[in-house]
Amino acid sequence: MDRDGADMQAKLAALADGTLAPGEREQALRQVDRQPELADELRTQRDALSVLASVESVRAPESLHRSVESLMRSTPAPASRGRRSRRLRLQVGVAGALAAAAAAAALAIALTSSDPGPGSGPGPSSGPGGPTVLRAAEAALGPSTLPAPAPSRTRRGELARSMDSVAYPYWQDSLGWRASGARTDSVDGRQVSTVFYVPDGGAGPASRRIGYAIVAGDALAMPAGGRMIESHGIRFRALHAGDATVLTWRRAGHTCILVARGGVSTATLVRLASWE
């Protein structure tokens, strides 16, 4: 990375954590507005800060602590820069290295904390030992292992793939999202079928991929937390776990889930789910 690129990375880091001077802040925001790649990088910085903040009270595994400490010791601090500059460089480098691990930790914490304790009443699981919405969503974040289903030849607006007679939508012509792959998982004794979608016209970055999961059998209980959203007569619950956004609702008596990384907004997920 050249010097200008490194300086811009430092500005984005300071913009994300609110330490950039007011004059520089306005200039940086104008650059971000003009360059989509800078906007993506700013979101990444903010997502990393959010994830790290969400798990700061949780003790990470000792192996992770040792890896981070080793990384910090091996990163020389330039003598020509002050303490604030060194901190920004460390945030840019270490936050990127920790983002995936911290996101996974945050999602694991969310999965654990979403389950009710003894005597806590109904929770997100459909029954003893059954899956939860967030565990199904975790499966839908995995890699594609099956080819993309083709459009249905008999039913307009559907793909030739379904779970318990609940078909997956065809969004390519109407909304610009095409099916890119699929996978099937067994989660706590339930089959979870997922179809992946990406923006039409290219494979797109991983941050723009959506997983649409349908859980076999009766609908799961709605998870606690998040917020309720109603659109086109459908009630959704939106949650955030690490850098993932999870949207869940019931369709034909089954639990449906849309899950995506930080590159896809909740509003986009609601718009797609409401189109069916």
- Rounded to an integer, what distance in angstroms lies between the CA atom of residue 68 and that of residue 63? 9
Q: Is 174 within the bounds of a domain?
A: yes
End-to-end alpha-carbon separation of the chain, Å?
Answer: 45
Higher pLDDT, 154 or 18: 154
Q: Is 118 within the bounds of a domain?
A: no
Q: Is 227 within the bounds of a domain?
A: yes
Q: Is 7 within the bounds of a domain?
A: yes
pLDDT-wise least confident of 10-19, 167-176, 247-256: 10-19
Do 184 and 93 lie in one domain? The reply is no
Q: Which long-range contacts (CB under 8 A, 24 or more apart) does 262-271 make?
A: 262/43, 262/44, 262/47, 262/207, 263/40, 263/43, 263/205, 263/207, 263/208, 264/207, 264/208, 264/210, 266/229, 266/238, 269/210, 269/238, 269/245, 270/229, 270/231, 270/236, 270/238, 271/175, 271/231
H helix runs in 114-262, sequence order: 133-139, 172-175
What percentage of the chain exceeds 70 in pLDDT? 61
What's the total number of domains in the chain? 2
How does residue 29 score in pLDDT terms, banded at 50, 70 and 90? Answer: confident
Measure Cα distances from 247 to 42, 80, 176, 256 in Å: 24, 48, 19, 8
Q: Is 61 within the bounds of a domain?
A: yes
- Does this model's pTM top 0.75? My answer is no
Do 171 and 243 lie in one domain? The reply is yes
Do 95 and 210 lie in one domain? The reply is no
The yes-or-no verdict on residue 2 having pLDDT over 90 is: no
